[in-house]
């Protein structure tokens, strides 16, 4: 079963690479083709999938990881100064939350959009990792360090890799972007299993600077798909479980 899982993971990685490359090729070779609108409005969900009972796979069950943690002793296991190396201001810094063991997905991102190409477009990309769990079998800290030595695009915190620790990873990435990339006009946050079009990113952000300069100058612009007035998930077996301690309100 483990071998079958690894094969399926590699197949998924190849599919992600192929789709990303296809999007880039379409954008590059068809500049005059009809463009979609910059923002796609997603339809409302027909059912509330957040409350489904099926327990997801690969959820960390260690009770220590389900407690709120005050990261007073936070530090970087791997720091990064990719923005400080850039003399010019950046249009955007892309921060990608990535599980440390997802080295193949990170490789897919680099293959589809190399850092050199992003630099030409006024962007930089960084992968946000946490400390390897003791049970990690597919990658070692030395391999992560070697990956950073080769590509220079990893930022790693000292909290443990776990789904319940994603919020800390988000805060780490945002804090790093705010302090180490002060000249970046935009921060783009995505996951490592997301397919994205960097050319679309650039067109959209540049259009905002032209069409809504006052909003952009206010430093209060935040874009995303908003789930409005949703109740928190109280089912402990659910991937998105939120305890009363974390959020006592009903919406």
Higher pLDDT, 127 or 41: 127
Please state at what angle helix 2-29 crosses helix 198-211, rounded to 10 degrees: 50
Q: Phi and psi of 84, rounded to 5°?
A: -70, -20
- Residue 3: the pLDDT is 52
Q: Where are the domains of the chain?
A: 2-217
Measured CA angle at 170 (ends 165, 172), to 5 deg? 95
- Residue 98: the pLDDT is 97
Tokens of 128: 């946000």
Mean pLDDT of 179-191: 92
Is residue 198 scored above 80 in pLDDT?
yes
Highest mean pLDDT among 6-10, 73-77, 120-124: 120-124
**Number of residues assigned to the chain:** 251
- Residue 187: the pLDDT is 94
- List CB contacts of 20: < 8 A, sequence separation 6 or more: 108, 109, 111, 112, 113, 195, 196
CA distance 240 to 52: 10
Can you point out the beta strands (E) in 79-208?
90-97, 123-131, 154-160, 184-191
- Residue 93: the pLDDT is 96
- Residue 212: the pLDDT is 84
- Residue 125: the pLDDT is 97
Is residue 43 scored above 60 in pLDDT?
no
């Amino acid at each position: 079963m483990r071998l079958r899982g690894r094969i399926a993971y590699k197949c998924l990685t190849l599919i992600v690479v192929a789709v990303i490359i296809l999007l880039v090729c379409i954008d590059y070779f068809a500049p005059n083709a009809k463009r979609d609108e910059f923002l796609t409005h997603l339809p409302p969900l027909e059912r509330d999938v957040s409350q489904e009972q099926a327990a997801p796979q690969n959820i960390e069950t260690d009770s220590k990881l389900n407690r709120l943690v005050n990261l007073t002793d936070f530090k970087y296991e791997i720091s990064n100064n990719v923005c400080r190396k850039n003399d010019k201001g950046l249009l955007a810094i892309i921060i990608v939350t990535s599980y440390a063991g997802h080295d193949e997905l990170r490789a897919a991102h680099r293959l589809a959009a190399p850092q050199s190409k992003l630099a030409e477009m006024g962007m930089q990309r960084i992968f946000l990792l946490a400390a390897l769990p003791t049970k990690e079998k597919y990658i070692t800290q030395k391999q992560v360090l070697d990956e950073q030595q080769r590509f220079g695009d990893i930022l790693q915190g000292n909290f443990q890799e776990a789904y319940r620790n994603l919020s800390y990873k988000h805060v780490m990435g945002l804090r790093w972007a705010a302090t180490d990339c002060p000249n970046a006009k935009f921060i783009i946050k995505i996951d490592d299993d997301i397919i994205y079009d960097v050319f679309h990113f650039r067109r959209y952000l540049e259009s905002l600077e032209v069409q809504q300069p006052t909003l952009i100058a206010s430093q209060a612009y935040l874009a995303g798909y908003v789930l409005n007035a949703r109740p928190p998930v109280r089912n402990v077996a659910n991937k998105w479980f939120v305890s009363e301690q974390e959020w006592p309100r009903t919406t």
